[in-house]
Amino acid sequence: WDWFFILIYFLFTLLVGFYFTRRATTNIAQYFTSGRGMPWWLLGTSMVATSFAADTPLAISGLIVKQGIAGNWYWWCMVPIHVMGAYFFARLWQRAGVLTDTELVKIRYSGKPAKILRGFRALYFSLPYNCLVMGWVNLAMANILGMTFKFNKLTSVLICFFFTMTYSAISGLWGVMVTDFFQFFLAMGMAILLSIYTINHIGGMGVILERLAAVYGDASKTMVSIFPHDSPLPPLYNQLLLPTSLFLLYIGMVWWTTGNTDGGAYLAQRMLSAKNEKHSFLGYLWFSIAHYSLRPWPWIIVGLGAAVMFPGIGQMNPSGKIVPNPELGYVAVMLTLLPKGLLGLMLASFFAAYMSTISTQLNWGASYLVNDFYKAFIKKNASNKHYVFVSIAATVLIALVAAIVTFFLSDIFTAWLILSAINAGIGVVYIARWYWWRVNAWSEISAILACLVSFVIVYYFVNPRIFNPDTTATVIKFPVTLIFTVPFSLLTWLTVTFLTPPTDEAQLIEFYRRVQPGGIGWRHIANKITDKLNLQVTMTRKNLLNALISVIAIYSILIATGKLILGSTLIGILLLGSAGLCTIVLYFRLSQEKW
């Protein structure tokens, strides 16, 4: 029965891919943005499905042991910027009308620097950056297949590479988003089911908490705390739980400085595929809610169960030594508790989570290579058929490079931290390019290079003992790297901005007419436009207040769910009441919106 459900899932996915092949291969607009006709519920759910893969539950299971539940603030801290994405960027992406977020460079900046930036972004983000992401996702799936079917890494990667590449290449974003929708419900449904099996097997949450205390001693109280304490784990893994100082870095710096703070990359691709501004906004808002309010706790419950069922779980490293790897605990629970049939469905759900992410990364990366490099610089006036063929070839190329990268990775969460460190500091310029006219192409170029240079310097040449003379750490990891990279990046790109000429004024006026972000940062350009502009600006007090209410609602649901699961019933109910009140207020405020 296990293989039956897995094969049924594969067959369904391939059928969807073949069904959309003809529509997706009409032209690259269909292939990369689904003809710009997607409803909010589909594109928002696709965002959620893409943002977690086979690596996510494994990494969270490892976090429970290494840093406790509070370790999840690594990604929970991003709630504000994702909510701001809905209110301050979703409509702007729609108005921009570009095919990829990198094409924004073409309409936002001018001259040779804009061409350099567009070409650099197309190659850098589609290949090394994108393939690192896919590499750790491949690694997670290889670990799952290795524990389940005893496949070696090469066999696992070949299976994943061939199947996902095939349906992604033939169906474009149409097939990716439709399969994402079903993959989300399969993956989340099975995660919830496994968490129920875990609780029932151990004897309830109360018993799980008791056994955590027996295995980990006093540190168990910190492990199940939603907010961090400076308490170390026992010598089992010789790592600190998430200390308060790192928590403050997460909520104080990470969300507005790191990564695609304006909703770029695959999130922008979804917004660009929306029917209109309303669907773009609602899709991004739904993503922000589901991503944080629905996803985390089933994985955390299984992670807690794995911590007591398989303390010290490890795997053999290349030298033949068994080393602890708590990320494998999630898979061990799955293999131990699920009966035949359900285990097959669970494995299918892992494939679903894996494929939803990989297929998106392949399509998004290919869109950069084709639209922003090949079409922009190599062959500008070819036929639609030619560009679609090149898009399929680019998809295959990226999949192959990502498969190779997988063999150089060994730890999922470490890969997460490396990518975050590389991105640390770049987020500010992504926000500024929408809301400050003075930002130019050199600003972005210098920001990207400053982040890369500062990462190399801090990671390889700065001694961690400057923070703690007694530490055994050999490198400074994210988010501590932010202390160095953010000031360096900000100083670098701001200096470069004022030392280089601004974007051509005619280009700035045309850009403002098209997207109309508003705010004091564009007043210099807006004052030069004499005719009336019809679109609503996004930088308003109303949007700021709506965003704040939304953030409070999402955090209330997130923390309330955890409190109810962990036994703090009263606090959980009060927080749910807060979320309900915020939802009512927000509903009436948004119902007055003029689209």
CATH number at residue 198: 1.20.1730.10
Alpha carbon distance 345, 334 (integer Å): 11
At 581, the amino acid letter reads L
Does residue 42 form part of some domain?
A: yes
Q: What is the pLDDT of residue 470?
A: 66
Q: Of 393, 518, 549, 473, give the one whose Cα is nearest residue 95.
A: 518
- Encoding tokens for residue 490? 């900000």
Q: What is the pLDDT of residue 413?
A: 64
Q: Which residue do the tokens 């950069």 mark? A: 368
Does residue 499 form part of some domain?
A: no
CA 532: distance to chain centroid? 39
- Encoding tokens for residue 177? 């988003």
Alpha carbon distance 344, 148 (integer Å): 10
Residues in the chain: 595
Q: What is the pLDDT of residue 28?
A: 86
Q: Which residues contact 481 (CB under 8 A, 6 or more apart)?
A: 421, 424, 454, 455, 458, 459
User: Number of folded domains in the chain?
Assistant: 1
Q: Of 565, 572, 573, give the one whose Cα is nearest residue 209.
A: 565
- In sequence order, the β-bridge partners of residue 475 are none
Q: What is the pLDDT of residue 1?
A: 66
Alpha carbon distance 325, 310 (integer Å): 10
Q: Are 306 and 61 in contact (CB under 8 A)?
A: yes
- Encoding tokens for residue 95? 């108005």
CB neighbours of residue 245 within 10 Å: 12
Alpha carbon distance 587, 455 (integer Å): 43
Q: Which residue do the tokens 């700035």 mark? A: 508
Does residue 443 form part of some domain?
A: no
Q: What is the pLDDT of residue 319?
A: 59
> How would you label 317-344 residue by residue, b for 16+ Cβ within 10 Å and e otherwise?
eeeeeeebbbbbbbbbbbeebbeeebbb
Q: Are 259 and 23 in contact (CB under 8 A)?
A: no
- Sign, CA dihedral 82-88-91-93, equals negative
Alpha carbon distance 541, 539 (integer Å): 7
Q: What is the pLDDT of residue 235?
A: 41
Q: What is the pLDDT of residue 231?
A: 62
Half-sphere exposure of 399 (CA within 13 A, CB side): 26
Q: Which residue do the tokens 């924004």 mark? A: 104
Alpha carbon distance 449, 446 (integer Å): 5
Q: Are 168 and 395 in contact (CB under 8 A)?
A: yes
Q: Of 402, 490, 488, give the one whose Cα is nearest residue 439.
A: 490
**E strands in 338-398:** none
SS3 316: strand
Q: Are 160 and 358 in contact (CB under 8 A)?
A: yes
Q: Residue 484: phi, psi to the nearest 5?
A: -95, -50
Does residue 63 form part of some domain?
A: yes
Which residue range(s) make up the domain with 72? 2-423
Alpha carbon distance 582, 227 (integer Å): 23
Q: Of 410, 399, 487, 384, give the one whose Cα is nearest residue 167.
A: 399
Q: Are 172 and 180 in contact (CB under 8 A)?
A: no
Does residue 466 form part of some domain?
A: no
CB neighbours of residue 37 within 10 Å: 13
Q: What is the DSSP letter of 99?
A: S
CB neighbours of residue 26 within 10 Å: 14
CA 319: distance to chain centroid? 33
Q: What is the pLDDT of residue 539?
A: 93
Cis amide linkage into residue 311, ω under 30° from 0: no
Alpha carbon distance 264, 454 (integer Å): 23
Does residue 442 form part of some domain?
A: no
Q: Are 204 and 49 in contact (CB under 8 A)?
A: no
Tens place of pLDDT per residue across the chain (595 aa): 677 888 888 788 778 877 878 777 788 888 888 888 899 999 999 999 888 777 788 888 888 888 889 889 989 999 999 999 999 999 999 999 999 999 999 999 999 999 999 999 999 999 988 888 888 788 878 877 887 788 887 888 787 777 777 767 777 887 888 888 888 898 899 999 999 999 999 999 999 999 999 988 888 888 899 998 766 554 444 444 457 777 888 899 999 998 899 998 889 999 999 999 999 999 999 999 999 998 899 999 999 999 999 987 765 555 556 667 788 899 899 999 999 888 888 888 888 778 878 888 888 999 999 999 999 999 998 998 999 999 999 998 998 898 888 888 776 666 767 777 778 789 999 999 999 999 999 999 999 999 989 988 888 888 777 766 766 667 777 788 888 889 999 999 999 999 999 999 999 999 999 999 999 999 999 999 988 888 889 999 999 999 999 999 999 999 999 999 999 999 999 999 999 999 999 999 999 888 7
- Sign, CA dihedral 53-416-425-480, equals positive
Largest CA distance in the chain: 73
Q: What is the pLDDT of residue 432?
A: 96
Does residue 285 form part of some domain?
A: yes
Q: Of 300, 99, 98, give the one whose Cα is nearest residue 199.
A: 300
Cis amide linkage into residue 479, ω under 30° from 0: yes
Q: Of 311, 241, 252, 324, give the one whose Cα is nearest residue 63.
A: 241
Q: Are 126 and 369 in contact (CB under 8 A)?
A: yes
Alpha carbon distance 366, 393 (integer Å): 9
- Sign, CA dihedral 548-579-192-243, equals positive
> How would you label 250-281 residue by residue, b for 16+ Cβ within 10 Å and e otherwise?
beebbbbbbbbbbbbbbbbbbbbbbeebebbb
Q: Is 36 left (phi over 0), alpha (psi -120 to 50) or beta?
A: left
Does residue 245 form part of some domain?
A: yes
Q: Of 120, 49, 64, 530, give the one whose Cα is nearest residue 326.
A: 64
Q: Which residues contact 512 (CB under 8 A, 6 or more apart)?
A: 437, 522, 525, 526, 529
Q: Are 443 and 472 in contact (CB under 8 A)?
A: no
